[in-house]
Amino acid sequence: MTDTSSPYQNLTPDLILNSIESQGYVCDGHLHALNSYENRVYQVGIEGETPLIAKFYRPGRWSQEAIFEEHAFALELAEHEIPVVAPLLGEDGESVHHTVSNQHQAYQFALYPRCGGRWPDLETKEDRELMGRLLGRLHSVGATQRFQHRQRVDIATLGKKPRDYILGQNLLPDYLVEAYDTLTRDLLIQIEMRFDSLDYLQNIRLHGDCHPGNILWTESGAHFVDLDDSATGPAIQDLWMLLSGDSGEVENQLEDFLVGYETFFEFDRSSAILIEPLRTLRIIHYAAWLARRWQDPAFPLAFPWFGTPRYWEEHILSLREQAAAMN
């Protein structure tokens, strides 16, 4: 069985290469780990061919049905010629595979073509309009069907459950517990009021984690990668992480995105009042995510500052700044 505290301890190089070769490829022995914490992602050399990208899913995080929906969404987008890196299908027509091992619980994995690029700058009006057009096209497809097994972008998932986890695990120094408790409770009430103030909020299939690190830019344009957090939620979720600066700059940038976006899909401009609430939910959720993953050896190495009194002091300060921003 896979140890949940060290979920990848049995994912050895031999197991990785043997499992990929079980899909009909001949590996040349080159295996390079890429930057990924939730899953394990590798660039794998293939004899006489372009390297592949192999993603091994964290055991127990997603159901197989949820992974199927992620892949089906990516393949559907690709069919509509929306630039997204979709999984490769095996000879059996499936995109989800299982590691070859008689000794341990199998890992689920998927193979992708290697697609390079750089993070987008999005500093010009033209680049923002282009990105807006891509997101408008993505959402126009996302709105045609519904996820049944993916998570939702909502207050319960990103706010209440993470808050309860942090308080329930006694992660905070004693002198900060009351401040965190009252502040997050008030924030969630304020956020709920923002959501409730909207007459109607359309929820569609989203990329879900559309920050610049999940967009790669080349001379021919941009393409989306990593739909691992694809979810059901409001369209603004895929836009707000691309905005930066003060409120005036954010407003101007959003308008540029929407010039391109609304060429392909209607945007409910009243939902822009959710930008700061969604940012606040992400801050709360991020802290709980780190705490939940702390037994994975990769996390203390990558985030050595997490859990210290100073970390929690700065976390609470950032939440207070969000309270001011929402006001």
Q: Report how far residue 192's alpha carbon sits from residue 288's, in angstroms, rounded to the nearest whole number.
A: 20
Pairing between β-strand 97-98 and β-strand 215-218 as defined by DSSP bridges: unpaired
Tokens, residue 247: 């409120």
Identified catalytic residue from 127, 226, 228, 256? 226
**Considering only CA atoms, which of 163, 150, 144 is closest in space to residue 285?**
163
3-class secondary structure, 27: strand
Q: Report how far residue 327's alpha carbon sits from residue 324's, in angstroms, rounded to the nearest whole number.
A: 5
End-to-end CA distance of the chain: 49
Q: What is the DSSP letter of 118?
A: B
318 backbone dihedrals φ, ψ, rounded to 5°: -65, -35
Active site residue 226: yes
Which residues fall within 8 angstroms of residue 182, CB to CB, at 6 or more apart?
Answer: none
**Distant-in-sequence contacts of 177-180, Cβ < 8 A, 24+ apart:** 179/316, 180/312, 180/315, 180/316
Identified catalytic residue from 28, 154, 181, 209? 209
Tokens, residue 290: 């780190």
Active site residue 174: no
Q: Report how far residue 118's alpha carbon sits from residue 137's, in angstroms, rounded to the nearest whole number.
A: 21
Dihedral-angle region of residue 29 (phi above 0 means left; psi in -120 to 50 means alpha; beta otherwise)? left
Find how far residue 149's CA is from the centre of its chain. 16
- Catalytic amino acids? 209, 226
